[in-house]
Amino acid sequence: MGNCVWPSSRSASPADTTPTSPGRSTPKTGSSTTTTGKLSSPSSSSTFGQSTGSSSASIDEVFPDGRILEAPNLRIFSFAELRTATRNFKPEMVLGEGGFGKVYKGCVEEKTLNPAKSGVGIVVAVKKLNPESMQGLEEWQSEVNFLGRLSHPNLVKLMGYCWEKELLLVYEYMPKGSLENHLFRRGAAFEPLSWSIRLKIAIGAARGLAFLHSSEKQVIYRDFKASNILLDANYNAKLSDFGLAKHGPTGSDSHVTTRVMGTYGYAAPEYVATGHLYVKSDVYGFGVVLLETLSGQRTLDPNRPSGQHNLVDWARPMLADRRKLARLMDPRLEGQYSSKGALQAAQLTLRCLAGDPKSRPSMKEVVETLEHVEAIKRGSREPRNTPQRSVAAEAPCRAHGRAAPPLHPGGGAARQPHSAR
């Protein structure tokens, strides 16, 4: 998570408590409570029902394939604690900013989980809701409901929350920032990702999505994109931002119907057109990110030549043709990749981008295919120096730069509903 190195910094940190419903009682810092149902929410679709508490210590080590906790096990922070943790939310502590609001760097003690003294704590990411944000309470509650109970090595850990004066969320710190930054930003801090690192990231993200889809109550992530894939110090990928997550269909239903939200360029066409959300709508989004990972290009970029603004439309004919594929591959790879592996990854991308959800592979199949690609002996040697430099890490929020716009064109940074046509 990184060490706190700034001077004279005190901070709050996560302890073993579970959330109560906002608005019903005043939390006591450090006290332990047990959830008796769900956070009050306009929609019950983002809740898990009645349950009891459970310890989350070393949960990834004990359950490497993931686990759904019986109850959220989160620290309820006071606003004063988080204000101390972030040095009064000073501008120099900002890690990033998105539709939800700003994300600040904070510091906590690793063992006692009490406010950290100068130079002895670990870094956390504190997301603070912008009062004018249109994402607001519903998505904040969704984050707590989902990430508070979902535990997997490829999901970002939610450590706690605050709703005393303002809405805040506290996450583990991801020192390498987002996949989006590494693919699209230029500069000394962002060395090109090697072929092996790209595969590692794709496999990690695929495993996280496969876990969501294979849980007893299927979870549809609904906002899979490069800026929501965060990287730890070893380039292990973790999915962040569960504000739009929903439970999947039940019984004989094939889909759930909901207002269309997400990001242009990543949302599946059937979802944008009808509001019908399938589990495999996530697979389409994964295909877009895999295409970005292969090509090093954004899904939407008006600055590209005419006919190439939409990456999926332009690249689709090249994905199944070995000779044309070389034109598509990221030139920053400098040819240091297996041509056979690249072709198989491209063919998988094409399947993920199928227009009919039924024709797309499951995420379990995606993981297996990518693992096979990773095992292929490289046709050409990769450079010895894989990226090691630290970057200005980005916490669970939208990345800076020209990210794809929200589905509603007038929505700014916030995700907005889009009327189905």
Which domain, by its residues, includes 91? 44-172
Co-location of 183 and 73 in the same domain: no
Co-location of 266 and 233 in the same domain: yes
Number of domains in the chain: 2
Co-location of 114 and 221 in the same domain: no
Identify the helix (H) or strand (E) that includes residue 312. helix 311-315
Question: What residues form the annotated binding site?
Answer: 128
Co-location of 196 and 321 in the same domain: yes
Q: In this structure, is residue 110 part of a structural domain? A: yes
Q: In this structure, is residue 401 part of a structural domain? A: no
Residue at a domain's end among 375, 390, 406: 375
Co-location of 367 and 288 in the same domain: yes
Angular region, 49: left φ>0, alpha ψ -120 to 50, beta rest = left
Cβ neighbourhood burial of 19 (10 Å; 0-12, 13-18, 19+): buried
Position 300 scores a pLDDT of 96
Residue at a domain's end among 109, 144, 172: 172
Question: What residues form the annotated binding site for ATP?
Answer: 128
> pLDDT of 193-249, one tens digit each?
999 999 999 999 999 999 999 987 899 999 999 999 999 999 999 999 998 999 988
Residue at a domain's end among 172, 193, 215: 172
Identify the helix (H) or strand (E) that includes residue 219. strand 219-220
Position 2 scores a pLDDT of 66
Position 112 scores a pLDDT of 65
Active site residue 241: no
Co-location of 208 and 90 in the same domain: no
Position 5 scores a pLDDT of 61
How many residues would you count in the chain?
421
Q: In this structure, is residue 395 part of a structural domain? A: no
Co-location of 144 and 195 in the same domain: no
CATH for 109:
3.30.200.20
Show the tokens assigned to 232.
Answer: 């730890």
Position 404 scores a pLDDT of 56
Q: In this structure, is residue 1 part of a structural domain? A: no
Co-location of 157 and 231 in the same domain: no
Q: State the alpha helices, DSSP H only, in 260-300.
A: 269-274, 281-295
Distances (CA, A) of 43 to 141, 142, 247: 10, 10, 11
Report the predicted TM-score, pTM, of the whole model to 2 decimal places.
0.78
Q: In this structure, is residue 125 part of a structural domain? A: yes
In this structure, is the dihedral angle defined by the CA atoms of residues 372, 374, 295 and 340, taken in order, positive or negative?
negative
Position 73 scores a pLDDT of 81
Position 250 scores a pLDDT of 80
Q: In this structure, is residue 404 part of a structural domain? A: no
Co-location of 147 and 107 in the same domain: yes
Position 335 scores a pLDDT of 94
Co-location of 135 and 259 in the same domain: no
CATH for 339:
1.10.510.10
Q: What is the pLDDT along the chain (421 residues), one digit of tens a residue?
A: 567 765 433 333 333 333 333 333 333 334 333 232 232 322 333 333 323 333 344 455 555 677 777 777 888 898 988 888 888 999 999 998 877 789 999 988 787 666 676 567 889 999 998 877 666 788 888 888 899 999 999 999 999 999 888 899 999 999 999 999 999 987 767 789 999 999 999 999 999 999 999 987 899 999 999 999 999 999 999 999 998 999 988 877 888 888 898 899 999 999 999 999 999 999 999 999 999 999 999 999 999 999 999 999 999 999 989 999 999 999 999 999 999 999 999 999 999 999 999 999 999 999 999 999 999 965 444 544 445 444 333 333 333 334 555 553 333 334 544 433 3
Co-location of 154 and 168 in the same domain: yes
Q: In this structure, is residue 39 part of a structural domain? A: no
Co-location of 198 and 312 in the same domain: yes
| Catalytic residue from among 16, 65, 223, 330 | 223
Q: In this structure, is residue 109 part of a structural domain? A: yes
